[in-house]
Amino acid sequence: MDVQAIKRTFGIIGTDPELDRAIGIAAQVAATDLTVLITGESGTGKDVFPKIIHQNSARKHGQYFAVNCGAIPEGTIDSELFGHEKGAFTGAVGERKGYFEIADKGTLFLDEVGELPLSTQARLLRVLENGEFIRVGGSKVMKTNVRIVAATNVDLPLAIEKGRFREDLYYRLNTIPIHIPALRERKADIPLLFRKFAADFAERNHIPAITLTPDAMKMMENYRWDGNVRQLKNVTEQISIMETDRTITAETLAKYLPNRVVSNLPVLLPREDTPEGMSERDLLYRVLFDMKKDIAELRNQVNNMSAGRPMEQNYVQATPMTQIGDTVVTRVSPSEPETNDQEFAEFVPAEETHYAGSSSPETLSLEHHEKEMIIKALEAHRGKRKDAAKALGISERTLYRKINEYDIKL
């Protein structure tokens, strides 16, 4: 069965090359009995791939069991997997077959295998090596012929370093690795998945399907989607049931994307002489401090010229003007900068910071200047927030948040 046929059979949506590659590996390895380890973040759809392997194998007429290893308590996981004898522990009123025994000649999917206790990992290793296991409380060695497919969202090499996972078991499970890409790594598939989820939900509930405006779709594509496909489906269904307007704007969509941190503002890059460990806020203060010092020096030069005193030769050139929106900033650079790292380290930013060399104290506050820029942008665009946000180079949602944060009255 080719990749496209598998997608149709199992309802897989997407055209991403990495996704197609994962499906192709699953189809290719299905005819063998090799152990497969599926890795990927939670919500990427790892549970579909064991079914692809089973249905395309010679074991497709045998039993298929999926076991969530992370959902079974440590005290009972051995009994669930390997079975137990009567009286093996309190409550064991009779013997019980485990999944390895029941799934004989079939396929056993061990989901979240990275959550297995170390004692259970040792038992699992023995099954993978020679197909043998012993029931809990028993002494008879039993045989099983089962195909193991495991999956995890845990970084197993890191778990090995921390002593939480057996290295020998990892290499036994990782005979054929299949990695499922995260949703943020296959952005082109997001519109396809959204339309599919919206249409399915609308059909089940007999309501019109929702659609997204271009801005909303761009926002959805740029969102991180930590919960991957599962989260996208949940968000789509939430919007479908909660919103009466079937056309969803970016402003509406933003309410359903939790912890969304997006910034289209320019990134401040540190200079070569910037000390390590300095935060972006510190860098901004450093730039403002240097500019303030330069302005004060320039003011002194003008005062000297007005008073007929000789002009100090501190400034020899000026860098080209930089325009941000309608604001033009000229950065004047001294031939020998007087601000060094030690002086900057002694500079402590505050809400109202004054420079001693200035004839009139000036406020050096990032919040103050940011608020002023927002107010000017809103006034320039007659209160139209969308146009103001575009002029400022930030998202409309960020502008709304800043207006509320600074209590700006329109």
Are residues 118 and 63 part of one domain?
yes
| Residues forming a β-bridge with 96 | 84
| Domain boundary pick from 116, 146, 181 | 181
Are residues 162 and 98 part of one domain?
yes
In a domain, 268, yes or no: no
Q: DSSP character for 180?
A: P
Mean pLDDT of 228-247: 95
What distances in angstroms separate CA 76 from CA 80, 84, 100, 136, 324, one per listed residue?
6, 10, 15, 10, 64
Are residues 378 and 353 part of one domain?
no
CA atoms of 399 and 402, how far apart (whole Å)? 5
Mean pLDDT of 197-212: 95
Are residues 195 and 312 part of one domain?
no
pLDDT band at residue 366 under the 50/70/90 scheme: low
What's the domain count of the chain? 4
Average per-residue pLDDT for the chain: 81
Q: Given this model, what pLDDT does residue 197 score?
A: 96
DSSP β-ladder status, 107-111 and 147-152:
parallel
Are residues 23 and 169 part of one domain?
yes
More confident residue, 380 or 303: 380
Of the listed ranges 16-30, 37-51, 68-82, the least confidently predicted one is: 68-82
Where are the alpha helices (H) located in 69-181, listed in sequence order?
A: 77-82, 99-102, 118-130, 156-161, 167-173
Q: Given this model, what pLDDT does residue 241 score?
A: 94
339, pLDDT greater than 70: no
365, pLDDT greater than 70: no
More confident residue, 13 or 268: 13
Q: Given this model, what pLDDT does residue 36 score?
A: 97
Question: C-alpha 94: how far from its chain's center?
Answer: 47
Mean pLDDT of 197-201: 96
319, pLDDT greater than 80: no
Q: Could you tell me the end-to-end alpha-carbon distance of the chain, in angstroms, rounded to an integer?
A: 62
Q: Given this model, what pLDDT does residue 309 score?
A: 63
In a domain, 378, yes or no: yes
Are residues 192 and 169 part of one domain?
no
Instruction: Copy the structure tokens of residue 410.
Output: 């329109």
Number of separate helices (H) and strands (E) present in the chain: 17, 13
Are residues 20 and 147 part of one domain?
yes
In a domain, 85, yes or no: yes
In a domain, 394, yes or no: yes
pTM: 0.62
Contact of 169 with 125, CB cutoff 8 Å: yes
In a domain, 273, yes or no: no
CA atoms of 69 and 63, how far apart (whole Å)? 18
What distances in angstroms separate CA 281 from CA 123, 277, 278, 348, one per listed residue?
53, 11, 8, 12
Are residues 197 and 315 part of one domain?
no
Q: Given this model, what pLDDT does residue 334 score?
A: 43
Length of the chain: 410
315, pLDDT greater than 50: no
Domain that holds residue 329: 280-361
Q: Given this model, what pLDDT does residue 87 score?
A: 80
Q: Given this model, what pLDDT does residue 406 score?
A: 80
More confident residue, 342 or 94: 94
217, pLDDT greater than 80: yes
Q: Given this model, what pLDDT does residue 320 score?
A: 45
C-alpha neighbours within 13 Å on the C-beta side of residue 357: 14
Q: Given this model, what pLDDT does residue 69 score?
A: 92
In a domain, 275, yes or no: no
Q: Given this model, what pLDDT does residue 348 score?
A: 42
What is the CATH classification number for the domain harbouring 215?
1.10.8.60
23, pLDDT greater than 70: yes
CA atoms of 345 and 237, how far apart (whole Å)? 52
Mean pLDDT of 18-43: 95
pLDDT in tens, 253-298: 999 998 654 444 455 555 545 554 445 555 665 667 667 767 777 7
CA atoms of 114 and 153, how far apart (whole Å)? 8
Q: Given this model, what pLDDT does residue 16 score?
A: 95
Of the listed ranges 86-95, 244-253, 310-319, 393-402, the least confidently predicted one is: 310-319
More confident residue, 316 or 101: 101
3-state secondary structure the chain: CCHHHHHHHHCCCCCCHHHHHHHHHHHHHCCCCCCEEEECCCCCCCCHHHHHHHHCCCCCCCCEEEEEHHHCCCCCHHHHHHCECCCCCCCCCCCECCHHHHCCCCEEEEECHHHCCHHHHHHHHHHHHHCEEECECCCCEEECCCEEEEEECCCHHHHHHCCCCCHHHHHHHCCEEEECCCHHHCHHHHHHHHHHHHHHHHHHHCCCCCEECHHHHHHHHHCCCCCHHHHHHHHHHHHHHHCCCCEECHHHHHCCCCCCCCCCCCCCCCCCCCCCCCCHHHHHHHHHHHHHHHHHHHHHHHHHHHCCCCCCCCEEEECCCEEECCEEECCEEECCCCCCHHHHHCCCCCCCCCCCCCCCCCCCCHHHHHHHHHHHHHHHCCCCHHHHHHHHCCCHHHHHHHHHHCCCCC
